[in-house]
Amino acid sequence: MYPDDGNDHGYDRGQGPAQGGELPIRSEFIAWAEFLQVSGVHPSRLGELIELGWLEPRRTAGEGYLFRRVDVYRTRKLERICADFELNSLGGSIVVDLLDRIDRLERRVRELEAQR
C-alpha cells in the first residue's frame, strides 16, 4: 500500500483498486507540486536547479514538469550538503554527483568481486 500522500495512485476513492481489481502501477515520475511537497524545496530553488541543468525533468504536453522519484532523494542530499558545508548550488551539485559516481563504482566493484 502506498503512503497517504494525497495521491490516489490509481485507486478509486472507497472503491478499491481501479480498473477491475488490478493493482495500479506506480509511476517513476512525479509532478512539480508533489516534488515540492515531498522534497521540501522552495519553488524558486527548484527552478534554479533546473536552470543549472542538475535536474532534468521531462516536459508534459501542458508545459508542466515530471521529475524522477530518485531526484527527490538527490535534491534532499544536495540541500543537506549545501547547508552543512555552506556551499552554493553549483558546489553542492558537484559533491552530490561525485558521491553518486562513487556509489555506482562501489556497486560495480561488488558485482565484479561476486563473479570471481
| 12 found inside a domain | no
In total, how many domains does the chain have?
Answer: 1
Non-local CB neighbours of 102 within 8 Å, separated by 6+ positions? none
CB-CB neighbours of 78 under 10 Å? 25
Name the pLDDT band for 21 (thresholds 50, 70, 90).
low
Give residue-wise pLDDT tens across range 33-73.
999 999 999 999 999 999 999 999 999 988 899 999 999 99
Terminal Cα-to-Cα distance of the chain (whole angstroms) = 39
Tell me the β-bridge partners of 17: 11
For the residues 17-38, what does the mean pLDDT come to? 78
| 62 found inside a domain | yes
Q: Comparing C-alpha atoms, which of 105, 107, 43 is closest to residue 75? A: 43
| 69 found inside a domain | yes
What is the reported pLDDT for 18?
A: 47
- The burial of 96, by beta-carbon neighbours within 10 Å (0-12 exposed, 13-18 middle, 19 or more buried), is given as buried
Give residue-wise pLDDT tens across range 67-116.
999 999 999 999 999 999 999 999 999 999 999 999 999 999 999 999 98
Q: What is the CATH number of the domain that holds 79?
A: 1.10.1660.10
